[in-house]
Amino acid sequence: MSSFYIEERDFGTFVNTLAQNTRVVGPVAKRQKFVFGEIGSVEELRLDYDITILPPKKVFFPPKQVIARFDADSVEGTIAPVDTVLLGVHPYDVRGIDMTDFLFRERNEDWDYLAQREATTIVASNVQKVAPRAFWASMIDTNEPKGHDAYLTKLDGGYVFETRTPKGEALLARGAFRDATGPEVAAAQSVNADALGQCQEQLPYTSAEIAKTIRESFSNEELWDELSKDCFSCGSCNTVCPTCYCFDMRDVWNLDQKSGTRTRYWDACLTKEFAAISMPGGGHENFREHHQTRFRHRFMRKGAYLNEKLGSPACTGCGRCSMACTVDIADPVRVITTIMEWS
Amino acid sequence: MPSESHDCACAERESLFVPREAKILHAHAPTSTEKHFTLQFADGSPLIFEPGQILEVGVMGYGEIPIGIASSPTRTHTFEIVVRTVGRVSTAINNKNIGDSLWVRGPLGHGFDVDALRGHDVLVVAGGIGICPTRSLIQYIADQRDDFGRFVLFYGARDPLQLLFPEDRGVWRATHGIEYHETVDRADISWTGNVGVITTLFRNTHLSEDTRVIICGPPVMFEFVIRELDQAGIKRENIYVDLERRMKCGVGKCGHCQINNKYCCIDGPVFTYAEIHELEEAI
C-alpha cells in the first residue's frame, strides 16, 4: 500500500515496544543455527539469518497441538488464538504460509489453524544471507507472496517498511515511522532484486511442465527406485518443509486416567506406517508399503497434485529438505531435474 | 511475556475435530470379533446422512477410527455401526455397552449416489465386514423398493460363523424382490449353501449391462469382482466401490487416506470405478 522508513535505533524501540505488549515471534539464534522463537527484546532478533531450522508454519500449526480436552463425561475444544506479530519472515516462507492458508481453508475450514493465523500479523523481511541449498529465486516469479501484512527491507542505517494490509498499517502507530523517500524505496527494490541473484541452485521449469512430467512419471518404477534407493523413510524432509501439513491425532491420558487431551502431531508421509491400516489377527494392510512408493507420493503431492490446485509446486525453494536429508536424496532441484530429463 | 487472548470471532469458530457424544441404546456381539451398536446423539438430535457415509467413532483417551454407517437414513432417528476388533481403538469401542457413550464426528465423505441408482437394476457385492456399510444402502433400497429395478445381493464371508446380520439375511432371503445369494470360503458341517469365493456367485446370475453395481469388501476382492463385471459388459461409471483407508481427520487435511490426488475421506469413501481405475494406488 505505502512505503515508510524507520531509523535503526528507532527500529529497536519499535520491536521492544511491540514485544512488551504483544507476543512477538521472529528469527533467533540457536547455537550455530536459527529458529523462529518468541523474542523479548530486539537484541534477540536476528534478521541477518540465512534460514531457520523449522519454517514459521509452527506458529499456526504447532508440532504438537492440543485440539480437545476431555474428562470422564465431557469433551471441549481448545481454540484460543493469541495476538501475535510474526516478524522477519523471508518471502519463500511467506509463500509457504500462503499455501497452507489455502489448504487449511479449502473445502473444510480448519479453525484450529485459521484462528491463530487470523490473530497473527506477518512482517516479512528481505533475505540478507542466502542459505546454501536455497533455490527460491527460481520459484518466486510465478507466485508473488501475498499473505504478509508488511515487508521490511534492511538498508544502511534503517529499514524501508512497506505496508500491505490494514493489519500492517496498524503497526505504524507503534514506532517512529516516516514516509519513505523515492531513493529509499528504489534502494529497497534493488536490495531485494540482488538477493534473487544469489541462490546457487535453480529449478528452470514452469509449474505446468513440472505437473505434467511428474504425473507422467508415476509408473516409471526404475526412475523412482533410482531416486529413492537410499531413503531411510525418516520423514526429515516432511518435518522441515514449509508446505507439508499432514498430521496424526493421538489421545493422551492425564495421570488420573479419566481426563486427558486429544492432540494433533506433525506426521510424515515418508514414514512406513503412514498409510497402514490394522487388519484382523494383528496384521496390517499398507497401501504404500515400499519406500519408493512413499517417496514418489511426496513428489506427486508437491509436484503434481498440489501444484494443479495451487498453480505452482507445493515447494517454496527454501532448501530445508536438501539440508535435512541425511543421504541427500531429497533435493527437489535434483529430483525434479532428473524426472524432467529422464528418457 | 504478555499474551493477550485474541478477541475476534474466529476464537468462537468450531473445531472440525471435536466429537459429539452418542449414547449406546443397544449393543450385541454377533461374532467373536464384531460388535453391533445402535446409537443416538446425547442431545437427541438426529444424524442426517446418506447411505455409504462414514463416521469417526471413538472413545476419548483411545482415539477414533472411521466406520461406515450400517443403518439406513430411512429408519428412525437412531443409527447403527458394526465395529470389528482389530486394534487399540476398536477394542476400546467394543468394550463399551448399553448406557455407555461413544464420541462421534460426522457424517463424513460421499456415500452412494442413490439418485443415480434409482430406476436401474442394482447389484450389491459385499465381502466380509463390507456388508456393514452396504447394509445402509440395502435397507434404503428395500424401504423404497418400487423406485429401483431388479435388486441382486451377493454376500460372502470366510466361514458361516463370520456371516453377520442373521435376521436381515432371513428377511432378504424371504423378501420377494430381493435376489439374495450368499457364500462362504470355507464351509462347516452345518452349511448347505454355496462354497467358494464371492465371484463364484456370478456363475448362475445373468446381469443386464445396465446394472448399477456396488462393491465393498477386502482390498483383494475388488480386482476379481471387477473382472466379472467387465465380462458382463457393465460400464465403469456404473460401478461404485467403497474404499477403506486410514483416516485420522476425516475432513481432507491429515493426508493419511490419500489415493493419488483423491482423499478417501472427502472424495469418497464411495467412488465410481471410472473415477479411480486410473489411480494406481486405489485398488
Give tens-digit pLDDT for A205-215: 999 999 999 99
* Pick among B59, B60, B85, B89 to test the A interface (most A CBs inside 10 A): B60
- Grid cell of A190 as nine digits: 534493488
Tell me if chain B has a CB within 8 Å of the CB of A212: no
Is B101 in Cβ contact with A73 (below 8 Å)? yes
Between CA A188 and CA A6 the distance in angstroms is: 13
pLDDT of residue B1: 41
Are the C-beta atoms of residues B56 and B104 closer than 8 Å to each other?
A: yes
Q: Is the dihedral of CA A265, A271, A272, A274 positive or negative?
A: positive
Q: Is A317 or B4 the better-scoring residue by pLDDT?
A: A317
Q: Do B64 and A77 touch (CB under 8 A)?
A: no
Interfacial A residues in 239-278 facing B (CB < 8 Å) = 245-251, 253, 257, 260, 262, 264, 267, 269, 274-278
pLDDT digits (tens, 9 = 90+) for A256-301: 999 999 999 999 999 999 998 887 777 788 889 899 999 999 999 9
Residues B17-72 pLDDT 10s: 999 999 999 999 999 899 999 999 999 999 999 999 999 999 999 999 999 999 99
Q: If pLDDT is split at 50, 70 and 90, which confidence band does B283 have?
A: confident
Output the pTM of the full model: 0.93
Region A48-66: mean pLDDT is 97
Contact A43, A193 (CB under 8 A): no
In A, residues 3-22, which contact B (CB 8 Å cutoff)?
Answer: 19-22
For residue B2, pLDDT beyond 60: no
Residue B10 has pLDDT above 90, yes or no: no
Interface size between A and B, measured as CB pairs under 8 A: 168
Strand pairing class (B20-28; B34-41): antiparallel
CA distance A69 to chain B (A): 9
The average pLDDT across B88-93 equals 95
Q: Does residue B170 have a pLDDT over 60? A: yes
Give A158's strand partners.
Answer: A7, A155
pLDDT of residue B282: 76
Question: What integer is the mean pLDDT of B242-255?
Answer: 91
Rounded Cα distance between B225 and B216, Å, is 10
Residues 30-59 of A with CB under 8 A from B: 38, 40
pLDDT tens digits for A2-47? 999 999 999 999 999 999 999 999 999 999 999 999 999 999 999 9
Q: What confidence tens digit (pLDDT) does each residue in B256-280 have? A: 999 999 999 999 999 999 998 878 7
Interval A84-133: pLDDT, tens: 999 999 999 999 999 999 999 999 999 999 999 999 999 999 999 999 99
Quick check: B253 and A103 CB within 8 A? yes
Comparing CB atoms, the residue among A251, A285, A301 nearest residue B60 is A251
Specify the residue for cell string 527454501: A318
Task: Say which residue, B116 or B1, is predicted with more confidence.
Answer: B116
pLDDT of residue B7: 56
Cα–Cα distances (Å) from B49 to A106, A337, B133, in that order, read 22, 47, 12
Does residue A143 register a pLDDT over 60? no
Contact B172, B138 (CB under 8 A): yes
Tell me which chain B residues have a C-beta less than 8 angstroms from the C-beta of A80. Answer: 5-6, 11
| Chain B residue closest in CA terms to A297 | B260
